């Protein structure tokens, strides 16, 4: 039996998914993306989980879509099977915070997967590129849309049209990643952050994620209205009352995730 393309472990309220095709630098094929989507939905539906981490190996987060598989596909193959839409976009259904922990290569679809996560922690060794142009392809897993939103049109055009690779420091400066840490600290920093986040009130986290994502999809007026409704809804939450009273009582809040 071949090894599973992903590995999932739980640490308290954190679910960690490791991409696991080391010989192919975690190139993303259907088996991997199907398994990743299923693991994400399982963790999202598990009331004992408050945050999800996606990580790769020391050498590669993921080197992109599996070129060996794609090389002979026809238009009809990808159109009829719904390539990308079918199993790469599952992550968009996830309502809990998703953190990417990236070391080594995050290229093509690997970079796009990181861009689809909510927080990206990069090791100093991380390298980000959308090199599809070298294959006469296109960053078609959200790259042409999420990258300009993340780093602006000028830098996104540079990366997409020239295949320019960013190191971790550049990616940090451009706003592609949230933080950069030494390689040896990537997993501990990410876990510490994930544990911290997963300890907060889950419905509040979900409402914040939904509201921040609105910033990309709505006008400012619509986005502010959405945010205001989400804020008002917090007053229907036991956790919000507990959080504020705990502050006033100078004690730690005990959240019920309700």
Window contacting ligand HXC (CB under 6 A); options: 22-30, 146-154, 222-230, 242-250: 22-30
Determine the Cα–Cα distance for residues 128 and 108; give it in Å rounded to an integer. Answer: 8
Window contacting ligand HXC (CB under 6 A); options: 21-29, 183-191, 193-201, 221-229: 21-29
Determine the Cα–Cα distance for residues 156 and 166; give it in Å rounded to an integer. Answer: 11
Contact call for residue 27 and ligand HXC (CB under 6 A): yes
Q: In terms of CB distance, is 50 or 110 closer to ligand HXC? A: 110
Q: Which long-range contacts (CB under 8 A, 24 or more apart) does 86-91 make?
A: 87/30, 87/33, 87/34, 87/37, 88/28, 88/33, 88/37, 88/113, 88/141, 89/142, 90/33, 90/36, 90/37, 90/40, 90/41, 91/36, 91/37, 91/40, 91/116, 91/117
Measured CA to CA in angstroms, residue 139 lies from 91, 107, 136, 173 at distances of: 17, 10, 10, 22
Annotated active-site residue 65? The verdict is: yes
Least distance from C-beta 141 to ligand HXC, angstroms?
4
Window contacting ligand HXC (CB under 6 A); options: 38-46, 131-139, 146-154, 204-212: 131-139
Least distance from C-beta 31 to ligand HXC, angstroms?
13
Determine the Cα–Cα distance for residues 104 and 58; give it in Å rounded to an integer. Answer: 6
Contact call for residue 64 and ligand HXC (CB under 6 A): yes
CA-wise closest residue to 189 among 118, 127, 122, 128? 122
Window contacting ligand HXC (CB under 6 A); options: 103-111, 152-160, 169-177, 235-243: 103-111
Residues 67-96 touching ligand HXC, rule: CB under 6 A, are: 67-68, 84
Annotated active-site residue 109? The verdict is: yes
Residues 163/133, Cβ–Cβ less than 8 Å: yes
Contact call for residue 65 and ligand HXC (CB under 6 A): yes
Residues 105/127, Cβ–Cβ less than 8 Å: yes
- Closest residue to ligand HXC: CB criterion: 108
The contact mask relative to ligand HXC for 186-225 (x = CB under 6 A, - = no) is: ----------------------------------------
Binding residues vs ligand HXC (CB under 6 A): 24-25, 27, 63-68, 84, 105, 107-109, 131-132, 135, 137, 139-141
- Catalytic residues, which ones? 65, 109, 112, 132
């Amino acid at each position: 039996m071949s090894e599973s393309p992903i590995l999932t472990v739980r640490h308290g309220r954190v679910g960690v998914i490791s991409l696991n095709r080391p010989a192919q630098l975690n190139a993303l094929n259907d088996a991997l993306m199907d398994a990743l989507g299923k693991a994400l939905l399982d963790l999202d539906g598990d009331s004992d989980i408050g945050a999800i981490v996606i990580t790769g190996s020391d050498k590669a987060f993921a080197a992109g879509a599996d070129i060996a598989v794609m090389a002979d596909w026809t238009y009809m193959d990808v159109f009829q099977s719904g390539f990308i839409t079918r199993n790469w976009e599952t992550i968009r259904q996830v309502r809990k915070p998703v953190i990417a922990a990236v070391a080594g290569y995050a290229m093509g679809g690997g970079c796009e997967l990181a861009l689809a996560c909510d927080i990206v922690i990069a090791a100093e060794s991380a390298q980000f590129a959308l090199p599809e142009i070298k294959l006469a392809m296109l960053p078609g897993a959200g790259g042409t849309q999420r990258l300009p939103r993340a780093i602006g049109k000028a830098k996104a055009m540079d990366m997409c049209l020239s295949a320019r690779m960013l190191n971790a420091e550049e990616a940090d400066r451009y706003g592609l990643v949230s933080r950069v840490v030494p390689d040896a600290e990537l997993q501990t920093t990410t876990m510490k952050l994930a544990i911290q986040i997963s300890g907060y009130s889950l419905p509040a986290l979900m409402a914040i994620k939904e509201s921040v994502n609105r910033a990309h999809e709505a006008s400012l007026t619509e986005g502010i209205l959405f945010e205001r409704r989400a804020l008002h809804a917090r007053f229907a939450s036991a956790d919000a009352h507990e959080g504020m009273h705990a502050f006033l009582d100078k004690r730690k809040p005990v959240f019920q995730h309700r």
